[in-house]
Structure 1
Amino acid sequence: MTRVWNFAAGPAALPAEVLQQAAEEMLDWRGAGVGVMEMSHRSKEFVSIAEQAEADLRELMAIPANYRVLFMQGGAIAENAIIPMNLMGEEKRADYVVTGSWSVKSQKEARKYGEVNIAATSEASGYTTVPPMSEWKLSARPSYLFTCTNETIGGVEYPFEPDLARIGRAEVPVVADVSSHILSRPFDVTKYGLLFGGAQKNIGPAGLTIVIVRDDLLGRAAPFCPTAFDYRTVADNGSMYNTPPTYAIYIAGLVFQWLKRKGGVAGIEAQNIAKAELLYGFLDDCPFYENRIDPACRSRMNVPFFLKDESLNDRFLAGAKDAGLVQLKGHKSVGGMRASIYNAMPLEGVQALVDYMRDFALRHG
């Protein structure tokens, strides 16, 4: 069997080296006599796996000691509720910057728990850009400011890191959904109160959600917050108040070690820049295709594009599949095509996509 080039937005491709190692350890993890899926989450073997995974993530992202790393469940969608339950506090007010489908969903969910102020939105542009911080209008005393720094569906990525000190509001914690570009580029964790993301794009299998939260934001959960979702409880119990997604944590740990071998976040960012430049460069030069995102805000991870003649969409997808290029259909809410080129996608895969797109345009243009 030949593996295809998988451009899925999530669950997404994993590094072949990681999959091979997991296969080798499936029945017997390093002499334990059982595989990781069969281990007690409180066994010394699994505790060592979880501790190493956290240590490697801290190293990769330069996470300061006053931040907790939580291994949770429910995905980023569940965090849309868990965050306001933990952080809205007595004020019951939060600010949201809305830049696409995911931040729209996030602010709608937060309204169940308190008042939401839209500090900025790019709706007028069709969510094709990120409003500059100079246009953000924060409320008087928000509990936090929410951002989605890479919109997986729309293909919009923040060209800057939110730094509220620049607009005189350093006291407001910034929350960021980084699901689809975590570990693809450096983040200054100290600029955020909380970062979170589902693992199924750049980290591992679906089922694991990573939350990186500053110590001073713990212990604020509303009385009605389920105990298993209270960040203080999760932190105090080392992410093992309930049984965590053990196998997903194990795979994430292997991915972290793979990233370290690749030169860490700086090393993988250089590869991601090269891949994005290759694909966007072709899209800009070929009139057969169109990318509608503000060039300053184009995502390196999720590249949406449209055929100028959309009656050819099905033919394009069928031909791509025959060429070993899969999961290129755009999200149903926006249509067109989308190539997700996460960390595990090598430059060779992007080149194969560009070669196919060029040939298709020559044959049908």
Structure 2
Amino acid sequence: MGSSQSALNFGAGPAKLPREVLQEVQGELLSYQNSGMSLMEMSHRSKEYAAINKSTQDTIRELLNVPDNYKIILIQGGGMGGFAAVAMNFLNRTGTADYAVTGTWSGKAAKEAEKYGTVNLVFPKADKPGSIPDQSTWTLNPNASYFYYCDNETVDGVEFPYIPETNGVPLVVDMSSNIMTRKFDVSKFGCIFGGAQKNIGPAGAVVVIVREDLLGNPMKICPSVFNFTQVAKENSVLNTPATFSVYVTEKVLRWIKLNGGVENMEKQSALKSGFLYDTIKNSNNFYSCPIDENCRSRINIPFRVGGPQGNEDLEAKFLEEAEKRFMYQLKGHRSVGGIRASLYNATTYDDVKLLVKFMKEFQELHQS
């Protein structure tokens, strides 16, 4: 393998982090703020960590323009922990919830919620993900405790191009893989959550933005660490948080702010994904994307090599040749196959240019 500087990481998560942030972390690793101790060794109740905890919450509030009547909390457990936490915090309202299943992660979330109450699928689960049925065809329950959807399906490459209309039922959304990649109106949601390990930090921390009027009524069985009301009351230090993960996340959030905020991240996202989709579209079907054009993700782009069904031998060769050029983690999810390029905030337009250059050269060599 070449130097770490030359590696191009298109991994779906844990994902590429900004090099400037990693260098800053490296410089502070042994002695944080000249204390002689690593941040990893410090108490979560120290003044140093308290400042990081506050700055993380404040920067999220600023970057996403989060209204005052929302709490921002930091928990652990990843997205899958979030699936259970959402159900246990909100299902108590009516005992039932609406779920839009558009791919792998929303499917897992619905299955998790079924343990705690009644789940209504607002449209039948598709045999093969890749589309979002028109809203006019959905069957909504006006008495649902909440409506749940995954804004961007990391595995399947499906992204909602709009915020669903639920006629007053609180919206709960998993934004693990596209938070901080485009602007949106936080006030339209009851709860937004997402693991940090794709756009805003390393694995370990989960950001939850929750409207205050939805707090205060968790199920009795809800563990304290997943109880949003309790965690909010204790300012995200109910127990020992993932301090190092939050510390790095705070730095990534400041990096986003320094680099034009969410507005610029959205602009870059459109440029990067547009360039890659155009390359696929103009490849004369050598490359193909199986996702409906109206809901193709800007963030996780699955594609096949060697025709619409894909040629597994060619795809294996593609991955092998990509690694020779220090392009890593392009293999599609085991449940989907093919290739997947993930274009998170730390992935640059120049990274995508190098991928496109390789794709065109590969096509010239292998097109029959």
Does structure 2 conserve the Cα–Cα contact (< 8 Å) formed by 1:122 and 1:131? no
Task: Provide the residue aligned with 1:35 in structure 2.
Answer: 38
Partner of 2:362: 360
**Does the CA-based 8 Å contact 1:121-1:131 persist in structure 2?**
no
1:320 to 322, 327, 336: 322
- Which deviates more from structure 2 when the two are superposed, residues 6-15 or residues 302-311? 302-311
CA distance in 2, matches of 1:122, 1:63: 32
Number of residue pairs matched by the alignment: 359
Q: Deviations over 1:145-170 (max 9, x none)?
A: 00001000000000111232xxxx12
The TM-score normalised by the length of structure 1 is 0.96
Is 1:234 aligned to 2:222, yes or no? no
Spell out, residue by residue over 1:110-164, the C-alpha distance to the aligned partner (whole angstroms, 9 max, x if none).
111011101124615x221222322221114100000001000000000111232
CA distance in 2, matches of 1:313, 1:186: 35
Match of 2:189 among 181, 188, 192: 192
Give the match's secondary structure for 1:303: strand
The percent of aligned pairs where both chains have the same amino acid is 45
Contact persistence 1:291–1:306 (CA under 8 A): yes
Instruction: Kindly state the Cα deviation for residue 90 of structure 1 after the two structures are TM-superposed.
Output: 4.8
Q: Return the alpha-carbon distance in structure 2 between the equivalents of residues 90 and 6 of structure 1.
A: 43
**How far apart, CA to CA, are the structure 1 residues paired with 2:135 and 2:325?**
43
| 1:224 paired to 2:221 | yes
- Correspondent of 1:272 among 255, 262, 269: 269
The match for 1:62 is 65
Q: For 2:297 and 2:280, locate their aligned partners in 1 and report how far apart those are by CA, in whole Å.
A: 14
Please give the alpha-carbon distance, in whole angstroms, between the structure 2 residues aligned to 1:131 and 1:61.
Answer: 28
Equivalent-residue separation in structure 1 for 2:32 and 2:281 (angstroms): 48
Residue 281 of structure 2, aligned match among 273, 279, 284: 284
- The CA distance in 1 between the partners of 2:33 and 2:124, in whole Å, is 51
> Is the CA contact 1:207–1:248 (under 8 Å) kept in the aligned structure 2?
yes
Q: Which amino acid aligns with 1:133?
A: Q
**Matches of 1:121 and 1:31, distance apart in 2:** 57
CA RMSD, Structure 1 to Structure 2 (Å)? 1.1
5+ residue gaps, structure 2, are: none
8 Å CA contact retained: 2:172, 2:191: yes
In the TM superposition, 1:69-108 aligns within 5 A as 69-108=72-111
Letter in 1 for 2:195: G
Residue in 2 aligned with 1:300? 298
Cα pair 2:96 2:120 within 8 Å, conserved? yes
Residues of 1 paired with 2:39 and 2:139: CA distance? 48
Within-5 A mapping of 1:124-203: 126-164=128-166, 169-170=167-168, 172-203=169-200
